[in-house]
């Protein structure tokens, strides 16, 4: 997805604008300058376009102030990452010398810049915005982030500048894109280097060595893979540097553009809350998922350990129990060849299409279900027909008399039946219930 970054000096209302755009109070808003230090990002939608919004710290050019060099470095990263930048100034007081220096910095980029004159709470003050044109940018918007005034016009302009979205149906690509994701220091880069057979990613025992998402193309068994090695993801409360913050954003973007994500965990600490959140994000994005437990060479030598671990992971990842699991050692090379093998299978499963005849058979079986859901008044669910409407991920539409009658239990039952019809290991299934106009 596209990235829209909010920049400006301290205390001009950047976090208030961020909160207004994402529609929730995600950023801390305070009258004290410099409140925002950890960077925040959110996802939002406007006029049918989804994009990331990034809140940044206030820019100052005095190096002796705490956090100033880090914030300044972060803003440079923001410029490189962004598709649109919202340059926020205090509209009531007009631009000052710091705003002028920020404008000089932004003019060196090729990113579209929209100047946001914040704190224009009333139309009578709009004339004060004209001073902002002296910063050298064409588009200036007088807004009140606190009250939402003119924010809609600003978002219309933002969406008009975003790059054209890709087609909803994925274009067939010659390679399989694979994102290596996971917490820091679980061995993602080591696994990548072992698969590539060369030192393409920096390997270090220090957590957080990898900062950027790195693409590497490799042919394995006649199949072309594009591996995306990403920075380790930690809980947001533990993101303790500007560079690491943007590494996390790149990692989420890597999930968005991959076909299959390989979630790497450490044998001594698996199925953490962060691991589960990552797996959930992968499936929510409609991507394939392979679970990899690394450093298996350090595990106790016990015959039943593998079976016990598989059972444990299925219980912990109940929402992803269908995902294949591989136990590997990047150090010794054990089972590494199974990673691309499973990725290829999951990629094929994600693009699998069930024939109409098989779906009709499923429909007959469902109608023979002992007791279909009802609305409590004696009116039972009726399923008229079903169809697979797309792949990547496989998506099915069931046309019924009343979608409100469908229960979560019955929804899960239908998903289970679909998974028994064909191999959908490692991929999420989308099931939509649609009201049919057919008369009962």
**CATH code of residue 399:** 3.30.300.20
Whether 440 is in a domain gets the answer no
Whether 236 is in a domain gets the answer yes
Whether 133 is in a domain gets the answer yes
pLDDT at residue 62, as a whole number = 64
Whether 301 is in a domain gets the answer yes
* Residues 52 and 111 placed together within one structural domain of the fold: yes
By the 8 A CB rule, do 245 and 208 touch?
no
Q: Report the SS3 class of residue 370.
A: coil
Q: Tokens 């008399």 appear where?
A: 401
* Residues 362 and 320 placed together within one structural domain of the fold: no
Domain boundary among the residues 161, 186, 217 is at 161
Query: 76: how many CB neighbours lie within 10 A of its CB?
Result: 12
Rounded Cα distance between 428 and 225, Å, is 21
Strands (E), 311-403: 325-327, 383-390, 395-400
Its sign, for the CA torsion 408, 413, 416, 417, is negative
Domain boundary among the residues 310, 332, 350 is at 350
pLDDT at residue 57, as a whole number = 76
Q: Tokens 């925002």 appear where?
A: 36
Give, as one character, the DSSP assignment of residue 321. Answer: T
Rounded Cα distance between 207 and 185, Å, is 5
pLDDT at residue 28, as a whole number = 44
Three-state secondary structure of 18-37 = HHHHHCCCCCCCCCCCCCCC
pLDDT at residue 210, as a whole number = 44
By the 8 A CB rule, do 255 and 282 touch?
yes
Query: pLDDT truncated to tens, each residue of the chain (440 aa)?
Result: 788 999 998 889 888 999 899 886 544 444 444 434 445 677 788 998 888 888 877 777 665 544 455 556 666 766 777 899 999 999 988 899 999 999 998 888 888 999 999 999 888 888 888 899 999 999 999 999 999 999 999 999 999 999 876 544 455 567 899 999 988 888 888 898 888 875 545 455 555 544 444 578 888 888 889 888 775 544 444 444 444 455 566 677 788 889 999 999 998 888 998 899 889 999 999 999 999 999 998 888 888 888 999 999 999 999 999 999 999 999 999 999 999 999 999 999 999 999 888 898 888 888 776 678 898 888 889 888 899 999 999 999 999 999 999 999 999 999 999 999 999 999 999 999 999 866 55
* Residues 254 and 336 placed together within one structural domain of the fold: yes
* Residues 250 and 336 placed together within one structural domain of the fold: yes
C-alpha atoms less than 13 angstroms from C-alpha of 25 in its C-beta half-sphere: 4
Whether 51 is in a domain gets the answer yes
* Residues 15 and 104 placed together within one structural domain of the fold: yes
By the 8 A CB rule, do 81 and 250 touch?
yes
pLDDT at residue 151, as a whole number = 94
pLDDT at residue 325, as a whole number = 96
Separation of first and last alpha carbons in the chain: 43
CATH number of the domain that residue 210 is part of: 3.40.50.300
Q: Report the SS3 class of residue 150.
A: coil
* Residues 295 and 418 placed together within one structural domain of the fold: no
* Residues 205 and 223 placed together within one structural domain of the fold: yes
By the 8 A CB rule, do 410 and 377 touch?
no
282 φψ region: left (φ > 0), alpha (ψ -120 to 50), beta (else): alpha
Whether 171 is in a domain gets the answer no
* Residues 337 and 372 placed together within one structural domain of the fold: no
What are the backbone dihedrals phi and psi of residue 29, each rounded to the nearest 5 degrees, phi first? -115, 125
* Residues 180 and 245 placed together within one structural domain of the fold: yes
Query: 245: how many CB neighbours lie within 10 A of its CB?
Result: 21
Residue 286 CA, chain-centre distance (Å), reads 11
Whether 169 is in a domain gets the answer no
Indicate whether this model's pTM tops 0.85.
no
| Structural domain total, the chain | 3
Three-state secondary structure of 154-218 = HHHHHHHHCCCCCCCCCCCCCCEEEEEEECCCCCHHHHHHHHHCCCCCCCCCCCCCCCCCEEEEE
Non-local (6+) Cβ contacts of 317 within 8 A are 271, 276, 279, 291, 323
* Residues 361 and 259 placed together within one structural domain of the fold: no
Token digits for 379?
A: 């009116």
Whether 167 is in a domain gets the answer no
Residue 406, domain extent: 356-435
Closest-CA residue to 257 (of 312, 190, 145, 181):
181
* Residues 242 and 273 placed together within one structural domain of the fold: yes
pLDDT at residue 356, as a whole number = 85
pLDDT at residue 326, as a whole number = 96
Domain boundary among the residues 161, 184, 216 is at 161
pLDDT at residue 296, as a whole number = 92
* Residues 135 and 214 placed together within one structural domain of the fold: no
Non-local (6+) Cβ contacts of 211 within 8 A are 231, 243, 244, 247
Rounded Cα distance between 61 and 395, Å, is 52
């Amino acid at each position: 997805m596209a990235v829209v970054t909010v920049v400006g000096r301290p205390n001009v209302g950047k976090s208030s604008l961020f909160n207004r755009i994402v529609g929730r109070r995600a950023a801390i808003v305070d009258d004290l300058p410099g409140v925002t230090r950890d960077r925040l990002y959110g996802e939002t939608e406007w006029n049918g376009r989804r994009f990331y919004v990034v809140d940044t710290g206030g820019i100052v050019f005095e190096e002796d102030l705490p956090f100033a060099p880090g914030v300044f470095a972060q803003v440079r990263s923001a410029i490189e990452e962004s598709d649109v930048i919202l340059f926020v100034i205090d509209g009531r007081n007009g631009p000052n010398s710091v705003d002028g220096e920020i404008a000089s910095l932004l003019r060196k980029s090729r990113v579209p810049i929209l100047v946001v004159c914040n704190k224009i709470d009333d139309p009578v003050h709009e004339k004060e915005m004209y001073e902002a044109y002296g910063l050298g940018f064409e588009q200036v918007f007088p807004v009140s982030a606190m009250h939402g005034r003119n924010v809609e016009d600003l978002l219309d302009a933002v969406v008009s500048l975003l790059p054209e979205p890709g087609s909803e149906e994925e274009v067939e690509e010659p390679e399989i894109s694979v994102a290596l994701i996971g917490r820091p220091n679980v061995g993602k880069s080591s696994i990548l280097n072992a698969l590539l057979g060369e030192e393409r990613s920096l390997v270090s025992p220090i957590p957080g060595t990898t900062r950027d998402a790195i693409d590497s193309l490799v042919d394995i068994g006649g199949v072309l893979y594009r591996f995306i090695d990403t920075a380790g993801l930690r809980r947001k409360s533990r993101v303790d540097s500007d560079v690491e913050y943007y590494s996390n954003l790149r990692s989420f973007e890597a999930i968005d553009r991959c076909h299959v994500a390989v979630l790497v965990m450490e044998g001594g600490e698996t199925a953490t809350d962060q691991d589960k959140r990552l797996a959930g994000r992968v499936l929510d994005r409609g991507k394939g998922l392979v679970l990899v437990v690394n450093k298996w060479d350090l595990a106790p030598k016990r015959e039943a350990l593998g079976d016990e671990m598989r059972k444990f992971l299925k219980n912990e990842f109940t929402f992803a129990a269908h995902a294949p699991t591989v136990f590997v050692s990047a150090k010794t090379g054990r089972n590494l060849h199974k990673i691309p093998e499973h990725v290829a299978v999951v990629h094929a499963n994600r693009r699998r299409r069930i024939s109409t005849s098989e779906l009709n058979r499923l429909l007959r079986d469902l109608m023979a279900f002992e007791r279909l859901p009802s609305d409590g008044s004696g009116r039972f669910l009726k399923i008229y027909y079903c169809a697979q409407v797309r792949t990547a991920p496989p998506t099915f539409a069931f046309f019924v008399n009343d979608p409100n009658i469908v229960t979560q239990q019955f929804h899960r039952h239908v998903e289970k039946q679909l998974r028994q019809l064909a191999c959908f290991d490692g991929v999420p299934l989308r099931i939509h219930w649609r009201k049919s106009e057919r008369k009962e």
